Amino acid sequence: MTATLTKAQRPSAAPLPDDIRVTQLRVMHSEWHKFWSLRSSYFTLAATLIAMIGFGGLFAAVTATRWTHMRPVEQAHFDPTAVSLRGFYLAQLVVGVLGVLIVTGEYSTGMIRSSLGAAPRRLPVLIAKAVVFAVITLVVTTVTAFVAFFLGQYLLSSHHIETTIGADGVARAVVGAALYLTVVGLMGVGLGFVVRSTAGAIASLFGILLVLPVLGEALPTDWATNIDPYLPSNAGQQIMVVHPDPSALLGPWSGFAVFCGYAAIALVLGAVLLRRRDA
């Protein structure tokens, strides 16, 4: 006769010691070290600095040189803040690639199996990667955006066409450039988990950021007026507009909120697929 143990009599698993228990903070600490252990992290962050500061300064210098030869209508619509931040067009591609690489790099090497083996619930890995990436990128791009802005205004001051950080909408545009780039990278992180291929995720990200606005311009005028402002990059870049059009469908912060929504969709979809698929 076999004895049947009641639920209260069944032995329970002993709790893990605190020094080996997997916590979100420890997973984030691991991702922090992994981020800084990759040469690609340093190369892409350096490329972001060059793109933002170098190209921003270049555009500002060229504008200052040709200012007296510009048509009155060009001078009337001149935005000194936008010129000094022009490097974000290239920087968004660099940051997006970095966001993809911190995910797909592990899939290509098989390291992702070790990461998910150490954190079997899986979601802490995605959260840790996103948080670590966002913090590092936001700090780097914020400093870079301010340096690019002040360098650009210094170069423009030779013709007294500069602006100041205290002018209406300028500080928001400068900080907005860093916020925009950070969200671009987070979208890359999400697509990395969705596609799990470096080439595929980068192509998807570039298509979303660069191709969709071009396709939007091909739409009939009535459609384009209502659709174009809600496309990801068009919506997100509103936060960098110093003097937004009052008649625009999306303002600076509402447009940025729409852009964050796209990044959130990519991350949520990545989280769902991470839970369901094999490593």
**Position 224 in a domain:** yes
Q: Residue 4 falls within a domain, yes or no?
A: no
pTM of the model: 0.89
Domain that holds residue 69: 24-276
Six token digits for residue 215: 């396709």
**DSSP H helices in 157-236:** 170-195, 198-206, 212-217, 221-227, 232-236
pLDDT in tens, 228-253: 999 999 999 999 999 888 878 899 99
Residue 1, in any domain of the structure:
no
For every one of its 279 residues, what pLDDT tens digit does the chain have, with 9 covering 90 and above?
Answer: 444 445 445 455 455 455 567 788 888 898 999 999 988 899 999 999 999 999 999 999 999 998 888 888 888 888 999 999 999 999 999 999 999 999 999 988 888 888 888 877 889 999 999 999 999 999 999 999 999 999 999 999 988 889 999 999 999 999 999 999 999 999 999 999 999 999 999 999 999 999 998 888 888 888 888 889 999 999 999 999 998 888 788 999 999 999 999 999 999 999 999 988 876
Q: How many domains are contained in the chain?
A: 1
The answer to whether residues 186 and 99 touch, using CB atoms and an 8 Å cutoff, is: yes
Distances (CA, A) of 240 to 114, 179, 270: 40, 10, 28
In a domain, 13, yes or no: no
Q: Is residue 172 part of a domain?
A: yes
Residue 243 within a domain: yes
Q: Examine residue 6 and state whether it is found in any structural domain, yes or no.
A: no
C-beta atoms surrounding 131 within 10 Å: 16
Does 8 reside within a domain? no
